[in-house]
Amino acid sequence: MTLLSLNRLTKSFGGLTAVNNVSFQVEGGSIVGLIGPNGAGKTTVFNLITGIYRPNQGEIIFNDGSIVGQPTHRIVSLGIARTFQTIRLFQNLSVLENVLSGCHCRMKSGSLAAMLRLPSQKKEERRAVERALGALTFVGLESQAEQLARNLSYGNQRLLEIARALATEPQLLILDEPAGGMNEQETGALITLIRRLRDRGITVLLIEHDMSLVMRVCERIVVLEYGAKIAEGEPAAIKADPKVIEAYLGTEENE
Amino acid sequence: MMDRTKYLYLAGTVVLAAAPAVLNTYWVDVLNNVGMYAILGLSLNLIVGHAGLFNLGHAAFYAIGAYTAAILNSHFHIPVLWLLPLSALTAGLFALMIARPIIHLRGDYLCIVTIGVGEIVRIALINNVFGITGGANGIFGIDRPQIFGWVIRRPQEFYYLIWLFLMVTVFLFQRLENSRFGRALNYLREDETAAEGSGIHTAHYKLMAFVIGAAWAGMVGNIFAAKMTIISPESFSFWESVLMFTLVILGGSGSIPGVLLGALLIIGLPELFRGFANARMAIFGVAMVAMMIFRTGGILPARPRTYRLPQPAAAVEAKP
Amino acid sequence: MEQFFQQLTNGLAVGGIYALIALGYTMVYGVLKLINFAHGDLFTIGAYLGLTLLTSLSLTDRLGPFWGVVALAAMAMGLVALVGALLERVAYRPLRESPRLSAVVSALGASIFLSNAVMLIYGARFHVYPQDLLPKITLDLFGLQLPLVRVLILAASLVMMTALYLFIQKTRIGTAIRAAAIDQGAARLMGIDVDRVILLVFLIGPALGGVAGVMVGIYYGQINFTMGWTYGLKAFTAAILGGIGNIPGAMVGGLLLGVIEAMGAAYISIAWKDAIAFCILIAILIVRPTGLLGERVAEKV
């Protein structure tokens, strides 16, 4: 069943068309890669899905409902979570509190409940901490829960972003270059992690420059160039597609 | 850890309760001012310290609370303390009204706009807006507060009213900052885009910080009006806002003990050293620059929250 | 007609002063993306230093009214420029790499310090500029009376603004300033000494603010240690109105604000005069934060 579907999506900034008439579908329970040369509009597509930008044209359907024009926080609570290409953690807060931010949209207690410390609020806080620890355990950071986020290594900061996104209990997880800055060993662990996410029932959509990761983990790949989709298919087919080789893999492999 | 803090608070309470017995009226009145500014500082701390929204017009909310109490009391003779919730409500509603259109502005612009709002309110009060604020002379003849028929009149009596209010504020705000609400404010202060991307309705929380902060300042305004029995626009000038802002920044933004210390230093210290009073703002100005360069968090910076973590065995997910 | 003409010329003269101060805000903002809250107080310092120089050196007696005032303005500009450079060195340079809001707090602290330092040195009362500084000549334009001092103030501010504009547009140093405003990193890579550009901006801006202080002293006759923040906020409004970071914008914004304020005071209500600028400021920031001449800048996520 189709979880997310982009229909003829277009976004331009001034004279520049960053995303041009792009359509593709993401099936529930799959791992989909979005690739393309620098400046192809990949991150813009992510920003459109998560409501940071509003498309000039086109539709974004998630779980049979349009999410165009919804604010970002609402889209998150509908079940789409993301990580950022440039790490955007709350650097001066603890690792645990970073993950608790993800729990926020699944909690209810407001300011009054907090001041009165109602039993329901206390219980909710306790459960949120448990859930946040669960997410940290899932990515393997539970022992660092009380560290400040800025003291984590680069690779662990990427993992923390995933844990924070996971805590929002997403159906669709969008990863923007999750392996950026990781060494080979960390990348290997990341591949396992992405597969475990899928096994947990979470659909994954990712942008990545590390081709070996994309080819190993993705079941379907969408290729963008100059804001337009030039190919879509399984990794083997994409590898063999002459248009893709010319646009992207060709230059990449020559290096 | 927690116990030590508790004992500290307990000892502080005993000392404070005994203070009026040993101090003369002048010093009790100084402590009254310290207490009121401490509450104002705590209310501003929610906005500036926790949400990171630079508000240099807090005196406007303080003024609206004071004028609400003064106008309703002098016209309809409603006892001032009964008007406490109403002062909170008008100040909060005013904050909601003015903050909504400006809340998306970036830090420094927001700061300038709040200065503008503060000034517009002050000018409106001077110009006797709606014919009810009494112009530059203000409003006089406000009743003293009463509790069960007992009239609060002497500074010593106000002392207990103000410091009780302060303690309740500390108690409630401590809970507030250690909650989903308090955390949300910190997230948006640290990185608004990341907070929104983690599912936090940032605009809502910014507004709520303003509304709650303003409502509390409005209640202090109510007590101020009752204490002075006369209020005028000059009590709510830009310098009042600067004073509140300074005590939060120097004491420790986002830190309750920091704000309390800030109020003590900024309001109390000039009273201790004669001759200091004139130079105090110049010294605070230098201190603000130095603080930003050497110790951004203030004298007593905010400490990270602590959470009671369950035993490792209880943690839910098992590693593969 | 008479009143309209008087308000228009008065507004233009005051607007010229706003524009000179606004240039300091806009140049610093352009290069550092910082609102220099202390800029208004540099203006105050200019007014007070001008008065001290005037009374201690009796410049107008020695050089005649015109050259005396010019010399006075030049000296005030030089001294305030030094204060500005010192301010940058002490309060802003150590915070170059810090979060933006730390620099904002530092700027506020510097502003509080400077205005109160003036108060401690000169006292809290109003000080009065000599009234016979410039000859009290009133020009007669087809039956409309126009005081000479208004013409001179407006002319002087226009001359300085034009000079600054040409300096920024036509010289190598001006090009360096513009380049640093667009992209500091790239400017540095192109061999521009960004620290020197910043220093220069903190010399030129305060110099213009300082001379504006002298002008207010001459025009209104009295000065006070708190005037910096009122004028500062209004000049900042002018900079926003024209589009912050934009030099012609500051000039247009200043003149426009001066005229709007004068007209508002005359035809709407004098009691609300000071609120007009703040209302414009808020309205602009809500409706069109880029100002009249500003360009929209997309934010990258």
Predicted-complex ipTM score:
0.90
- A243 within domain boundaries: yes
Please name the helix (run of DSSP H) or strand (run of DSSP E) that holds residue B150, with its range, or none: strand B150-151
Q: Which amino acid is at A215?
A: M
List, for residues C179-235, the tens digit of each pLDDT value: 988 888 888 888 899 999 999 999 999 999 999 999 999 999 899 998 998 899 999
SS3 content of chain A, % helix, strand, coil (to 5): 45, 25, 30
Q: Which amino acid is at A112?
A: L
Token pair 């087809």 is found at C142
List, for residues B249-299, the tens digit of each pLDDT value: 999 999 999 999 999 999 988 887 766 778 888 888 999 999 999 988 888
C274: left (phi over 0), alpha (psi -120 to 50) or beta: alpha
The token duo for C275 is 């609120």
Instruction: Identify each DSSP E strand in A138-238 by its residue range.
Output: 172-176, 203-207, 220-225, 228-233
**Domain segments of chain B as ranges:** 2-236
Contact, C22 vs C160, CB < 8 A?
A: no
Please name the helix (run of DSSP H) or strand (run of DSSP E) that holds residue A35, with its range, or none: strand A31-35
What are the residue ranges of helices labelled H in chain B? Answer: 2-22, 25-45, 58-76, 84-102, 107-126, 155-177, 180-190, 192-197, 202-228, 238-251, 256-263, 269-272, 276-294
C1: number of Cβ within 10 Å: 7
Contacts C301 to A, Cβ<8 Å: 43, 47, 52, 84
Q: Check pLDDT > 80 for residue C289.
A: no
Give pLDDT, residue C146.
Answer: 85
Contact, A54 vs A244, CB < 8 A?
A: no
Distance CA B258, CA B247 (A): 9
List, for residues A218-237, the tens digit of each pLDDT value: 999 999 998 999 999 999 99
DSSP C295: -
Alpha carbon of C270 to those of A40, A168, B133, B137: distances in Å? 58, 56, 19, 18
- Percent of chain A at pLDDT > 90 equals 78
Chains in contact with B, where contact requires at least 3 CB pairs less than 8 Å apart: A, C
- A225 within domain boundaries: yes
Give pLDDT, residue B304.
Answer: 85
List, for residues C35-52, the tens digit of each pLDDT value: 899 999 999 999 999 999
Nearest to A76 among B176, B199, B208 (CB): B199
Q: Check pLDDT > 50 for residue A254.
A: no
Distance CA A94, CA A82 (A): 20
**Residue C17 banded pLDDT, cuts 50, 70, 90:** very high
Contacts C298 to A, Cβ<8 Å: 13-14
For chain A, the domain total comes to: 1
Q: Which long-range contacts (CB under 8 A, 24 or more apart) does A139-145 make?
A: A139/A163, A139/A166, A139/A193, A140/A189, A140/B319, A141/A95, A142/B312, A142/B315, A144/A95, A145/A94, A145/A95, A145/A96, A145/B309
Q: Which residues on adjacent β-strands are paired with residue A234?
A: none
List, for residues C236-267, the tens digit of each pLDDT value: 999 999 888 888 889 999 999 999 999 998 88
Query: Cβ B281–C116 below 8 Å, yes or no?
Result: yes
DSSP B309: P
Q: Check pLDDT > 80 for residue A48.
A: yes
Quick one: which of A220, A214, A208, A205 has its CA closest to A173? A205
Give pLDDT, residue B273.
Answer: 74
Q: Which amino acid is at B200?
A: I
Q: At CA B10, angle to CA B7 and CA B15, rounded to 5? A: 125
Q: Which amino acid is at B62?
A: Y
- Supply the mean pLDDT for chain C: 88
**Domain segments of chain C as ranges:** 2-287
B13 touches chain C (CB under 8 A): no
Contact, B65 vs B91, CB < 8 A?
A: yes
- Percent of chain C at pLDDT > 90 equals 50
**Residue B188 banded pLDDT, cuts 50, 70, 90:** very high
Q: Check pLDDT > 80 for residue C69.
A: yes
In A, minimum Cα distance to B297 occurs at A92
CATH code assigned to C2-287: 1.10.3470
The stretch C284-289 carries a mean pLDDT of 82
Question: For the domain that residue A65 is a member of, what is the CATH number?
Answer: 3.40.50.300
Contacts C123 to B, Cβ<8 Å: none
- Supply the mean pLDDT for chain B: 89
Q: Check pLDDT > 80 for residue C97.
A: yes
- A187 within domain boundaries: yes
Contact, A148 vs A91, CB < 8 A?
A: yes
In this structure, is the dihedral angle defined by the CA atoms of residues C73, C75, C80 and C82, taken in order, positive or negative? positive
**Residue C296 banded pLDDT, cuts 50, 70, 90:** very low
The stretch A227-254 carries a mean pLDDT of 80
Strands A80-82 and A172-176 turn out to be parallel
Q: Check pLDDT > 60 for residue B38.
A: yes
**Residue B320 banded pLDDT, cuts 50, 70, 90:** very low
List, for residues A107-130, the tens digit of each pLDDT value: 988 899 999 999 999 999 999 999
- A245 within domain boundaries: yes
Contacts B116 to C, Cβ<8 Å: 233, 278-279, 281-282
Instruction: Identify each DSSP E strand in A50-166 by its residue range.
Output: 57-62, 65-66, 80-82
DSSP A170: -
Contacts B207 to A, Cβ<8 Å: none
The token duo for B290 is 């130095």
Which of B195-199, C163-167, C250-254, C274-278 is the least confident region?
C274-278
Q: Which domain holds residue A48?
A: 2-79+170-254
Distance CA C45, CA B292 (A): 24
Distance CA B65, CA B61 (A): 6
Distance CA A162, CA A135 (A): 9
Distance CA B112, CA B108 (A): 6
Instruction: Identify each DSSP E strand in C121-256 by its residue range.
Output: 127-128, 138-141, 144-147, 222-223
Alpha-carbon gap: A12 to the closest alpha carbon of chain B (Å): 21
Query: Cβ C278–B116 below 8 Å, yes or no?
Result: yes
Quick one: which of B193, B42, B226, B229 has its CA closest to B104? B193
Give pLDDT, residue B317.
Answer: 46
In B, minimum Cα distance to A46 occurs at B197
Strands A80-82 and B139-140 turn out to be unpaired
More confident residue, B273 or C27: C27
Contact, B59 vs B117, CB < 8 A?
A: no
Contact, C28 vs C36, CB < 8 A?
A: yes
Nearest to C301 among A13, A14, A47 (CB): A47
List, for residues C129-154, the tens digit of each pLDDT value: 888 777 778 887 777 888 888 888 99
- Burial track C210-245 (b if 16+ CB lie within 10 A, e otherwise): bbbbbbbbbbeeebbbbbbbebbbbbbbbbbbbbbb
**Residue B48 banded pLDDT, cuts 50, 70, 90:** very high
The token duo for C269 is 């209500």
Distance CA C241, CA A98 (A): 40
The stretch C117-136 carries a mean pLDDT of 87
